[in-house]
Structure formats: structure tokens, C-alpha cells
Structure 1
Amino acid sequence: MGKKIKGKDLVNLGFPQNNTINIALGQISRYRKKCDKQKLLNELSDVIANQDSYKDDPVWGKIIEAMTDPVELEMHTLQSHRVPFEIFGENEIGDLAKHQFYGSLKLPIAVRGALMPDAHGGYGLPIGGVLATKNAVIPYGVGVDIGCRMAMSVFPLPASHFKGRTDQMKKILSEHTKFGMYETHRVKHDHPIFERSEFREIPLLKQLFKKAYQQLGTSGGGNHFVEFGVVTMREDLYLDGKLQLPQGEYLALLSHSGSRGLGANIAQHYTHLAKKQCHLPKQVQHLAWLDMDKHDGMEYWIAMNLAGEYAKACHDNIHSRIAKELGTQITVTIENHHNFAWKEKVNGEECIVHRKGATPAGKGVLGIIPGSMTAPGYIVRGLGNENSLNSASHGAGRMFSRSQCKSKFTKSEIQKLLQTNGIELIGGNVDEAPMAYKDIHTVMNNQQELVEVIGEFQPKIVRMDK
């Protein structure tokens, strides 16, 4: 008997001679490759004999589904019409983003859409795209960086704290933040997220546990940052009926990053599965979806939510480290995802609302909308506009792509602009030039019916990937 399980071995066990065998071989190759063949055959024999016991199993459940309720592999056609939608700040949005958005509105699962004023082209949904779907989740509608989020911690320190301490604060950011694919903290911190059962029960997450542990409290490359700045509160901030932050100016820390390698691998894995199951016309193939009633859809939803909570854990770790170095406590933290999907009511029915590069802006919901490293960001309160699917922009939005920036701007130009605005930059590349972004004031003017501004953040010391 050879060491590798083949299709005929499964047929001999009683597996039906259809796509179930391909799925079983795929699961074995992915999750049981190193198992002893006879031991594995015994386990598979038990799967066949006791199907009800295995229908929720993270590995074999997909096989039971294939036998009892198979996923139909078919070419989906687009609808001839778009579902209802709204575009905010349309004159400031490029044709690529609109074209991608219009394609998403013709998906047979689409219910309603909205495009935010910072929108620009991406993969699948454009950045700034919001799409409600019926009982289906689109991995690329969430994005590769699952749970990418903003987090702002305000300290009980005045804005004048910067005076005479610039070098000290630059050192804190340099030594206690980590960026990119390979930098990690020398002293690792534990976190309750690593006790989650999903890391033990879902094979893919089990494989990613070590990477997630190593990358806790780190930030990605690109437009991810950690920066000190001054918060100006325009009004007293109350949370749960209690005064958390009186009107005034304070030292604050703002961070932007997501779920790191954990989220990227989840996105890649489930997008691959979605494309295999959901065949679409070439122009919208990145919008392949997973059925929320099927094994892969339910599993993606669990993994996506874990990645979102992991992203929050990373921000919590960053802010805790910085607060410790400042020798102070955090007064209040305001935070939000902007690459995620939620179960929400749309037109009176439960839908999956994807916000790819869009800030949740339900009535009374707080959020952070950053500008660029030389432009202010804003603390906002959602107005609950149903036409925007309770959403707002996630920032200023790119005006020039990263490749365009490399040919359009120089480091000396960027440095001159930083000096003019009194900004200290640690790291950073030409592709994140402040000039690459739209005017945040124009973006905010185009969403006055979506959010109200209650505070402003002015960057002072910015740390990015090198």
C-alpha cells in the first residue's frame, strides 16, 4: 500500500464517485498531508459511517456538505440593471472606481450600494465602496487587510507636552513601533485573543497562529502609520452617559493598520475558494462570493471576525506600549474598522454590508477619518444616513497611485512640504507622499450629510515603514 491516499482508496471506503472525492483529496492535501495513511483511512471510514457527527467538523464537514448538500458550480450572469445606489462627491471620483462599483451593483446577490467621496480603484470593490448583499459574503469586498482600522488614544496631557520633547517622542516611536513584513517586537506580549478556540478548531487559523503571535502589536507597510499629534475637541465627549473628554486640546496617538499576515492569508485562501465555486464574467471575477449557508462561507465569517478582533488587539498593544513609555494612562480611545463586513438590516431585511475602505457611520457611532501626514484628521459622529448604508469615507483617498507617485514626486519635495507644515517623519516612502491624496476638506464637505465633526487631529510626529 502506497503512502499517499488516492481516489480509489476513497471509493473503496464508500465515497460517492463525484466531486466529493476531489474535495476530500483537497482537504487531505491541505490539512492531513503528514498523517499515517492507515490511520487516516480509519478516520475517513468513520466519517462515512457517522456523517452526522462530522457535519460541523472544520476539516471533514466540507466533505459531508459535498455529499448531502453540494455547492453548485455554475457561471453566474450579471443582472441587466443596477440595484439602488448613491454616490457621494461624484465629481471627485475617478472612472475606474465608478466602473468597479457599477459592476458590483449588477451581481445577482446585490441589494444596495454606496460609494464614498474618497473612493478610488482597488480589487473587487473599489476602495470606498459599500455593498449590501443577500446571504453572501465577498472576500474581496472586505479586502485583503481584514479589519484594517483606525485607533486614536487621547492622553491626559496638554498639547504643550510636545515642547522640548520632540526628540524624546521620536525615539519612543522609533523604538516601540514595528512595521513591514519582518519587524517584530523583541519582547512579545500575550493577549486573550490567542486563547480563542478558532485558533485550535479551524485548520487554516491553526497554521497561522504562530505568525499572528509574532506580529502582535506591529503595523504593515504602505499607508499604515503610528503618529503623535494634537487633538482639539470641539465639544465635550460623553460615552455611555459619562463625560470622558472635556472640550480642549490634548496629546494623542493615532494608528492605522490591520490584521497583518493573519488577515492577508485568510483573504487569499477564501478568495481562492470563492473563485472556484462562483464563476463570474472576467470584469467582475474578483467579486466572487461565498454562500453564508455553506461550509466555506460560514468558516470565512468566523475567520474574518477573528482577524478583526486580532487587528484591534494589535492596536491595543501599540497604544499600551506607547502609553507606558510616556508614563501616563489613556483617557479614552476612539476606534473603528474600515475593511470589514457586518450583518445589518437594509430595506428591512438582514444583509451582509461590506465596507471596503469605508467608516461605519450609524447614528451616534464614533469614528476616525484621517487626512494625510500634513493634513488634519477628524473625530466624527455618524448621522445614520441610510442612502450611504450608514457609512462615510475612511480617509482622504488617493489621487495618484503608488506607481504614479514614484515618477511624479521626489523625496526633496516631500521633505520641503513636511518642513512647511512642521511635521517630523520617521520612515515613509515617495509612494505615500502627502500630495498623493485628495484634499481632506473637500472630502469632508462632500459628506456633511453622513457625519458630524466633533474633534480634529493634527499630526506632529509620523512613523511609517521604511
Structure 2
Amino acid sequence: MTKIELTSDILKSWGHVPGKAFGAALRDGLKAAENGADLNQIQALLEPYKPAPVIPIREAGALKFYSNIDAESYDEKQNVEAVHATMTAVMQTPTVEAGAIMPDACPAGPVGTIPVGGVIAARNAIHPGMHSADICCSVMMTDLGDAEPSKVLDAANRITHFGPGGRPNGKRFTMSLKLLDQFRENRFLNNPKVLRAAQEHMGTQGDGNHFLFVGRSRATGSTVMVTHHGSRGPGAHLYKLGMITAEKYRKKLSPKTLKQNAWIPADSEDGQAYWEALQLIRKWTKANHNAIHTATREEADVKVMYGFWNEHNFVFERDGLYYHGKGATPAWDDFASDSSGLTLIPLNMAEPVLVVRGKDAEHALGFSPHGAGRNFSRSEHKRRMGNMTPEQMLQAETKGLDIRFFEGKIDPSELPSSYKNADALVAQIKKYDLAEIVDYIDPYGCIMAGDIRPPWLDRKEKRRR
């Protein structure tokens, strides 16, 4: 009998790749040859040792996306160019089947990162980077009838909590034990950091553009309270764990896909557990909004007429596709079991919060804008202030309004001039037929975190010392 010569080159020609499995395949192949197997039999035997086929990325521009945004000024044109460039790169991701950008779109990271105001529909894939660390960032409104806006804002100021970290001992809100048990049953959420943050961060709003807004409805004259925040620490930790898991799949399935666009296959055990974790984080975030609204109502001793909420940083399953909205609001009636048919679009602290009914427009993949967006960065806005102080800018831009900063120091990057023109955004919502505006909540005042020193700077200095 002729001895079968099995070499590394033969294995490579069969599609095997050098690595741990390669050595095992060569060893077992040689053993099979010694036992009389021919090359065809050995090739079939070693098929399980081959790596999964690598999925290539698309050519840039091969898959187009819908653009629902206009640009008139120089800043707007620069912004739109940057948004188009990053979305073009996002569309190269092999799982993506469709994409769209909203009128409030702006870049959110390196080229290839889904922009704020971006929507992506993916096949059998959940992309943690496309819902971002601020999972389930959302808005909730409560109609408080004829309550005095000043009374509500004062009560909210005593109740709410902004800034990094959670509430101090003795001032914490209670998390549902049932929800806590559900966290423990999920492989992503049964994590000491997640569980601790879920309890400590209940009743908190974070920093940045998150706010507590009080105004009056033009339609009814009622006082309305609106909160804006995401899933805080629990969501941030889930995002990190999701990105670690997605990166393992990216290296194996599509190493040329950008790291920020790595995905977890939705039909895998990891994908099913991550999807369940997202739904539990959604429950936590809604409970967080409810806790602040309920405590404020009780503190102010006012009645609730009605309320609703919606998320704008999340993943939604529809018709077999996973729709990732990064700063984009679902605009179809049954996007969630608790959807009311109405959603909210905040503009800036000196402008109304829009109450809208979505149009489920095909050219927007069924989404509408989530807010006003920016044409330039926070640091660029501060540079353009010149010699104007934050106090002067606040007075000029919010005259007559009761604007409060929880940490005491004004954050100029959250003042109206740092955002896109509100009237232009409303005009584009109408032009592109993205939503029907059914009410305007005109501002009385709001609370924001303020200019807080980033905690990582303190940690960095501590390490240096």
C-alpha cells in the first residue's frame, strides 16, 4: 500500500489556517493515513478543524443609505459631510441591509461609527456599538394638570440626582427585587458591577445632555414634566460586556469589520442572552424614570393625569431585522408593548419639547429624530464663546426661564447655541414627513448636571501621583 503523504501545504490548500486547530488536524490526519484512509477520506474527516468562513466587508458605497437632512450654513455642510462619510463606512458592515440618517445627525466617534441620528437594519446581528454605552437613553413625560411649574421644579430639584456615580447611602431609591432577581438569572447582568450599579444608580440622571424639564402644554395648558436619561451604570457595564463578546465573534467571522461595528449573532446563545439583557435594562431604565417622576409628584403633592415614555438608543426587532437606533426614535405604533403611539423630541432648554406621532416613513426606516443634535463639538462651542462668560451666555439665551445646574457650575456646552437651530429641525421633520407634531411643551425651566469634572481625570491624576 502506498503511504499517504500529508503535509502542511496540503492542509492549507484544503482551507485550514495555521493555529491550534491546524496542529491537531495535521496530527489526526497523519493518524488516519496510518490507518489506511485515503486523501479524500482524510479531507472529509478534517473538515470540522477548518475555521468558519470569513465574511468580507462591502465595498465603500456599494450599499446606499437614506439621507433625511439638509445643510445651509458652513457648519451644517461640514457636519453633513462628516455624517455621510461615517455612514458610508458603517454600511460596509456585512450584516447591514439598510441605513438612514435623521435631521439631527452628527458624528459620534471615528469614521465608521454610527452617528447620532443614525439608524441601521441588520440581519441576525446585534451590534452593541450601535446602541452605544448609553443603552436605552430615553425620555418620559408626565402631565401634572394645573400644578404650578415652580412648585414642580422646586420639588424635582430636591428629589432628583445628577452627576457621576450613584446616590449616597441613606438616600437611595429601592430597586424592584423581582427585577433584581431577573438580572441575576441573565449571564450578562449577573455581574457584581452590574448588580451594584443597578441598586446604587436607581433615581439618578447622570450628566451631559440629560435633563429634567418642566413646561406647559400648548394644547391643554397643563404643567408637564419631562426627564431624559439612559440606563446609567447597569447599561454602561452591559455595553462593555457586549462589546467584549462581539469582538470575539468579529475576530472569528469578519476580522475586516471595524471593531466598533462588531456584532453578536442574534441566533446564538450569546445573542439570545444579550437580547434578554437589553430588555431587562429597558425595564430598569423605565423604572428609573418612574422613580423620579413619582417622587417628584409626591414631594410636590400634585396629581398625575397621564404620561408616556420612549427610548432613542436601542435595538428593535421588526420583520426579521434588528433595527439599531443611535439617537433616533422608533416611529411605528407597536415598536414596544408599552408604546402609546406618541413620542417626544426635545430641542434645547429654551425651546419646546415636541410631542409627535410617528409616520413610519420607509425612507427613515420607520424612525424619527430624537432631538436637536449638534453641528460642532462641545470644545468647539466653548472656543467660539470668546470672552463671553457662561453666566452672560446663559442670561442671553434663556432669558425668563428658570435654568438650574445641579452641581452649581454652568455647562456652556449645553446652552441653546451649542445645538442645531430648532426651527430648522422642525422644518426638516415636516419636509421629510418623519412625524406629525401634535403638541408643544413650552419651557418654564429645567435642571441639568452642570459642568462636572470628569471622574477619569481624577483617577488619572491619582495614578500619576
State the TM-score bracket (shorter-chain normalisation): 0.7 to 0.9
> What is the aligned partner in structure 2 of residue 250 from structure 1?
222
Q: Which amino acid is the alignment partner of residue 119 of structure 1?
A: A
Distance 1:203 1:142 in 2: 16
Q: Which amino acid is the alignment partner of residue 83 of structure 1?
A: L
CA deviations over 1:374-402 (Å, ceiling 9, x no partner):
11120000112122111011001112212
**Which among 88, 102, 106 is matched to residue 68 of structure 2?**
88
Distance 1:201 1:424 in 2: 41
> What is the aligned partner in structure 1 of residue 364 from structure 2?
388
**Which among 236, 244, 247 is matched to residue 275 of structure 1?**
247
CA contact (8 A) 1:128 1:357 kept: yes
Decide which moves more: 335-344 or 269-278. Answer: 269-278
Please give the secondary structure, in 1, of the residue aligned with 2:307. strand
> What is the aligned partner in structure 2 of residue 459 from structure 1?
443
Distance 1:377 1:140 in 2: 28
1:71-220 to 2 correspondence within 5 Å?
72=52, 74=54, 76-79=56-59, 81-91=61-71, 92=76, 93-123=79-109, 124-157=113-146, 161-162=148-149, 166=150, 168-184=151-167, 186-191=171-176, 194-202=179-187, 204-207=189-192, 208-220=194-206
**Shift in Å at residue 183 of structure 1?**
4.3
Structure 1, unaligned runs of 5 or more: 1-16, 20-67, 234-247
CA deviations over 1:135-183 (Å, ceiling 9, x no partner):
011101111111100111111216xx24xxx3x5443232200012224
**Shift in Å at residue 81 of structure 1?**
4.3
**Shift in Å at residue 200 of structure 1?**
3.2
Query: Residues 189 and 103 of structure 1: is their aligned pair in 2 closer, same or farther, counting only changes over 3 Å?
Result: same
CA deviations over 1:18-62 (Å, ceiling 9, x no partner):
58xxxxxxxxxxxxxxxxxxxxxxxxxxxxxxxxxxxxxxxxxxx
CA deviations over 1:191-230 (Å, ceiling 9, x no partner):
2653442323425434211210111111011000112111
TM (norm. structure 1) is 0.75
Decide which moves more: 113-122 or 176-185. Answer: 176-185
When the two structures are aligned, how many residues end up with a matched partner?
378
Distance 1:199 1:333 in 2: 30
Q: Percent identity?
A: 26
> What is the aligned partner in structure 1 of residue 427 from structure 2?
445
**Which among 309, 317, 321 is matched to residue 343 of structure 1?**
317
Please give the secondary structure, in 1, of the residue aligned with 2:190. helix
Query: Residues 193 and 432 of structure 1: is their aligned pair in 2 closer, same or farther, counting only changes over 3 Å?
Result: farther
Structure 2, unaligned runs of 5 or more: 1-18, 22-47, 334-339, 451-465
CA deviations over 1:57-107 (Å, ceiling 9, x no partner):
xxxxxxxxxxx9998484742345433421112424522221111112222
Q: Which amino acid is the alignment partner of residue 414 of structure 2?
A: E
**Which among 275, 293, 303 is matched to residue 267 of structure 2?**
293
Q: Which amino acid is the alignment partner of residue 429 of structure 2?
A: Q
Distance 2:185 2:209 in 1: 32
Query: Residues 202 and 458 of structure 1: is their aligned pair in 2 closer, same or farther, counting only changes over 3 Å?
Result: same
Distance 1:70 1:329 in 2: 65
2:321 pairs with 1:332? no
> What is the aligned partner in structure 2 of residue 353 from structure 1?
323
2:234 pairs with 1:222? no
CA contact (8 A) 1:74 1:278 kept: no
Q: Which has the higher strand share?
A: 1
Query: Residues 322 and 90 of structure 1: is their aligned pair in 2 closer, same or farther, counting only changes over 3 Å?
Result: same
CA deviations over 1:302-361 (Å, ceiling 9, x no partner):
21221112111100111001111121221111210000001112xxxx100001100111
Decide which moves more: 295-304 or 308-317. Answer: 295-304
Distance 1:365 1:440 in 2: 23
Q: Which has the larger radius of gyration?
A: 2
Please give the secondary structure, in 2, of the residue aligned with 1:157. coil
| Alignment RMSD | 2.5
